[in-house]
Amino acid sequence: MSEANEKQFTFEDPAYRKTYWHTCSHVMAQAVKRLYPEVKLAIGPSIDEGFYYDLDSPVPFTPEMMEQIEAEMRKICKEKLKLERSEMPRADAIKFMEEKGEPYKVELINDLPEDAVISFYKQGEFIDLCAGPHLDSTGRIKGNAIKLTACNAAYWRGDSNRQTLQRIYGIAFPKKEELDAYLERIEEAKRRDHRKLGKELGLFAFRDEAPGFPFYLPKGMVLKNTLASYWREVHKKWDYVEISTPQIMKRSLWETSGHWDHYKDNMYTTVIDEEDFAIKPMNCPGSILVYDMEPHSYRELPLRFAEMGVVHRHELSGALHGMFRVRCFTQDDAHIMLAKNQIKDEVVRIAQLFDEVYSLFQLPYKIELSTMPEDHIGTNEDWDVATAALADAITSIGKTYVVNEGDGAFYGPKLDFHIQDSLGRTWQCGTIQLDYQLPGRFNLEYVGEDGQKHCPVMIHRVVLGSVERFIGIITEHFAGAFPTWLSPVQVKILTITQRADEYAKQVAASLEAQGFRVEVDLRNEKIGKKIREAQLEKDPFMLVVGDKEAESGQVAVRHRSDGDLGVMSLEAFTAQLKELVDSRAAK
């Protein structure tokens, strides 16, 4: 048997995994109907991690009821019920579901196309409308590796004007050990939740007065500014020039760019002097206007504009999620104007910059090529050329990619960089978007080597994605214990006795004079308590000073993960700290 065939019926095969979880959703629905016959069934698909079923129940599902459903699911798995597929004519299918008292299924059948095949799957006494596919038996499912994880409200068909249903989520694996590992990962993710850590560490906060708009606290501003300083250093090294463009610009600009027609629902608008304006949801039109302020020659290209631009997007309240989905964020944009024959080399160059940044944060990544969406501008020929150019550039440097059909930006295809954090979760951050359309819409030009005017190509790219989202990601990735160079407080000085207060202040002044970020804890508390609290604040280094240290001019050094590092001179500690910060070491 080939390796491919061996993986076909394991969780390594995404299709098998989806089929396994889909069957689990039917097992859950069967268990619910056995225990609570009055419940009406809506839909129950597999999802990226597990499955769910939407249910119309006269009473909320309690934790005790969830446990009962889990137990019944295990029984159904032990019964090894065969899954049998059948088809019915539309009228018979509607009558069948009406007789079973399942109005949501009747609506689904009525909404199917006239030529649709209407299929059902039966397992024991339970039968459900479903296109499949499914496993051949409930016995294929490991009963003791099933866990129902949550129950939330959900609108029927996502419409807030329709019935409110209850959505039960579940997860299942072929082995109990895999379920245990998954649940531990989920618990660890809860411990690392950036919203929880952001509050505990004094980084950022959210208020009801400004939903979706983050407040940066003093330590959070240090983190943000340190990240921005690194970003500027990297972009200067890679020959970008930094610009800043207006927050509010006229409607006519956004009509020319195409955003007014394709993105208006996500834009905040206002009226100034009886004219429509929009608060920018992205930075690209501003960069175009900067380019258009003076004539350009082929000798200047590629021309790389970088911008830490604040943008606003009208996200639905239900989509907001800490720093991961906000309504106002700083996008680390760059827009590059170049000639067509420079595309491959420039994409290679951008990919190398991305690799440098992600490596620093210990974030491995995969690349996805997104192609032409249904809602797009430009000819199919332009799209084909642009898509091929991105694919060629990535393969030329030995990188691989997967294709994401139809998910490109409306103006061009893109390469998305999906980073992987320390818990194995993936996040789409970096993107390289090739745009043949906007430069033409704005009549941009450069004088070519032939003395003629040509329209440049434009590359839109971000490496962090947004500063806010990236801060949320790395907060969870590092569990709040940022590398020393990035940590808001790098050294916490703890006094054993008040007699050491003046020496502690001298040590702090010496370190601060060399650019290090320092806090001093002079409280009249036991040193053990001070150390425990400093550990919770996740500061990299603690310097414990008492009478002996004050007399000898030394410091007792502790590290948040390595523990006691012993007593050393302030000069020796400073040299070590400088090396860690200057090299941006992972510690």
**Is residue 264 annotated as a catalytic residue, yes or no?**
no
**Is residue 578 annotated as a catalytic residue, yes or no?**
no
pLDDT for 4 equals 42
Cα-Cα-Cα-Cα torsion 214, 219, 223, 228, nearest 10 degrees, comes to: 70
**Is residue 284 annotated as a catalytic residue, yes or no?**
yes
Is CATH 3.30.470.10 the right assignment for the domain spanning 491-582? no
Compute the half-sphere exposure of residue 203: CA atoms within 13 Å on the CB side of its CA: 29
**Spatial contact of 407 and 413, defined as CB atoms under 8 Å apart:** no
* Ramachandran class of 52: left when φ > 0, alpha when ψ lies in -120 to 50, beta otherwise: beta
Burial of residue 526, with CB atoms counted within 10 A of its CB: 0-12 exposed, 13-18 middle, 19 or more buried: exposed
**Is residue 128 annotated as a catalytic residue, yes or no?**
no
Distance CA 41, CA 340 (A): 55
Burial of residue 469, with CB atoms counted within 10 A of its CB: 0-12 exposed, 13-18 middle, 19 or more buried: buried
Q: pLDDT tens per residue, the chain (587 residues)?
A: 334 444 556 888 889 999 999 999 999 999 999 999 999 999 999 998 999 999 999 999 999 999 999 999 999 999 999 999 999 999 999 999 999 999 999 999 999 998 899 999 999 999 999 999 999 999 999 999 999 999 999 999 888 889 999 999 999 999 999 999 999 999 999 999 999 999 999 999 999 999 999 999 999 999 999 999 999 999 999 999 999 999 999 999 999 998 888 888 899 999 999 999 999 999 999 999 999 999 999 999 999 999 999 999 998 887 889 999 999 999 999 999 999 999 989 999 999 999 999 999 999 999 999 998 988 877 888 888 889 888 988 898 888 999 998 888 877 889 999 999 998 889 999 999 988 888 999 999 999 999 999 999 999 999 999 999 999 999 999 999 999 999 999 999 999 999 999 999 999 999 999 999 999 999 999 999 999 999 999 999 999 999 999 999 999 999 999 999 999 999 999 999 999 999 999 99
Distance CA 510, CA 516 (A): 9
- Which of 54, 332, 333, 382 is catalytic? The answer is 333
Looking only at the bridges linking them, the beta strands covering 518-521 and 119-123 are unpaired
CATH of domain 3-191: 3.30.980.10
**Is residue 414 annotated as a catalytic residue, yes or no?**
yes
**Is residue 333 annotated as a catalytic residue, yes or no?**
yes
Structure tokens at 286: 């501003």
* Closest listed residue to residue 559, CA positions, set 582, 528, 538, 530: 538
Compute the half-sphere exposure of residue 409: CA atoms within 13 Å on the CB side of its CA: 24
Q: 586: which residues sit within 8 A by CB, 6+ positions away?
A: 362, 483
**Is residue 26 annotated as a catalytic residue, yes or no?**
no
- Which of 304, 335, 477, 560 is catalytic? The answer is 335
Q: Which segments of the chain belong to CATH 3.30.980.10? A: 3-191
- Which of 284, 433, 435, 469 is catalytic? The answer is 284
Q: Which segments of the chain belong to CATH 3.40.50.800? A: 491-582
- Which of 166, 331, 437, 490 is catalytic? The answer is 331
**CATH number, domain 197-476, options 2.160.20.10, 3.30.930.10, 3.30.2320.80, 1.10.10.10:** 3.30.930.10
Q: Which segments of the chain belong to CATH 3.30.930.10? A: 197-476
pTM for the full predicted model: 0.83
Distance CA 286, CA 168 (A): 46
Looking only at the bridges linking them, the beta strands covering 541-545 and 491-495 are parallel
Cα-based distances in Å from 17 to 44, 342, 413, 501: 15, 42, 29, 61
- Which of 224, 259, 312, 313 is catalytic? The answer is 313
Backbone angles phi, psi at 542, to 5 degrees: -120, 130
